[in-house]
Structure 1
Amino acid sequence: MTEWDLRKLRILRTLAERGTVTATAETLLMTPSAVSQQLSNLSKQLGVPLLEAHGRRVRLTGAAHLVLRHAEAVFAQLESADAELAGYAQGEAGRVRIAAFSTAVPALVVPAVRALRRSHPALELRVREAEAAESYELLAAGEVDLALSLAAHAPSGADARFTRVPLLEDPLDVALPPGHALAEVPELRLADLSAEPWIFGGSGPWSEITRTACEAAGFVPEQAHSAAGWTAILALVEAGMGVALIPRMARARAGAGVVVRGLPHDRPTRHVIAATRRGAVSAPATGRVLAALRTAATSAP
Structure 2
Amino acid sequence: MAEWDLRKLQILRTLRDRGTVTATAEALHMTPSAVSQQLTNLSRQLGVELLRAHGRRVRLTDAARLVLRHAEAVFEQLERADADLAAHVHGEAGQVRVGAFSTAVPALVVPAVTALRATHPGITVRVREAEAQEAYELLAAQDVDLALSLAAEAPTAADPRFTRVPLFADPLDVALPRAHPLADAAGLRLADLAAEPWIFGGSGPWSDITRGACEAAGFRPHQGHSAAGWTAILAMVEAGMGVALVPRMAAVPRDGVAMRALHADRPVRHVVAAVRRGAGEDGAVARVLTALRGAAGDLGG
> Scaled by the length of structure 1, what TM-score is found?
0.69
Q: CA deviation at 1:88?
A: 5.1
2:213 matched to which residue of 1? 213
Tell me the amino acid that sits aligned with residue 137 of structure 2.
E
Q: 1:207 to 1:88 in 2, by over 3 A?
A: farther
- Once residues 123 and 202 of structure 2 are traced to their aligned partners in structure 1, the CA distance between those partners, rounded to angstroms, is 40
- Residue in structure 2 matched with residue 232 of structure 1 by the alignment: 232
CA distance in 2, matches of 1:297, 1:88: 30
Gaps of 5+ in 2: 1-84
SS in structure 1 opposite 2:201?
coil
For the residues of structure 2 that align with 1:170 and 1:290, how far apart are their CA atoms? 17
1:183 aligns with 2:183: yes
Moved over 4 A (4+): 84-89
CA contact 1:175–1:245 (8 Å) conserved in 2 = yes
In 1: Cα distance, 2:213 partner to 2:106 partner: 24
CA contact (8 A) 1:88 1:94 kept: no
- Percent of aligned positions that are identical: 69
SS at match of 2:249: helix
Q: CA deviation at 1:256?
A: 2.1
Closer, same or farther in 2 for the Cα pair 1:233/1:88, shift >3 Å? farther
1:87: how far off? 7.3
Map residues 24-43 of structure 1 onto 2, 5 A cutoff: none
Query: Could you say which residue in structure 2 is the equivalent of 1:242?
Result: 242
In the aligned structure 1, how far is the partner of 2:267 from the partner of 2:206?
13
Q: AA paired with 2:108?
A: L
Task: Trace 1:1-301 onto structure 2 (pairs within 5 A).
Answer: 89-90=90-91, 92-251=92-251, 253-300=252-299
CA RMSD of aligned residues (A): 1.6
Native 8 Å contact 2:199 2:243 kept in 1: yes
1:263 match: secondary structure: coil
- Which residue number corresponds to residue 69 of structure 1? none
Q: Which amino acid aligns with 1:178?
A: R
Q: Which structure: larger Rg?
A: 1
**CA deviation digits over 1:199-228, x for unaligned, max 9?**
012453111111110111111111111101
Distance in 1 (CA, whole Å) between partners of 2:146 and 2:257 is 34
CA distance in 2, matches of 1:263, 1:291: 29
Q: Is the 8 A contact 2:86 2:283 kept in 1?
A: no
Specify the SS of the correspondent of 2:111.
Answer: helix
Instruction: Indicate the SS of the match to 2:254.
Output: coil
SS at 2:98 equivalent: strand
Cα deviation digits, residues 179-201 of structure 1 (max 9, x gap): 10111111100011110011012
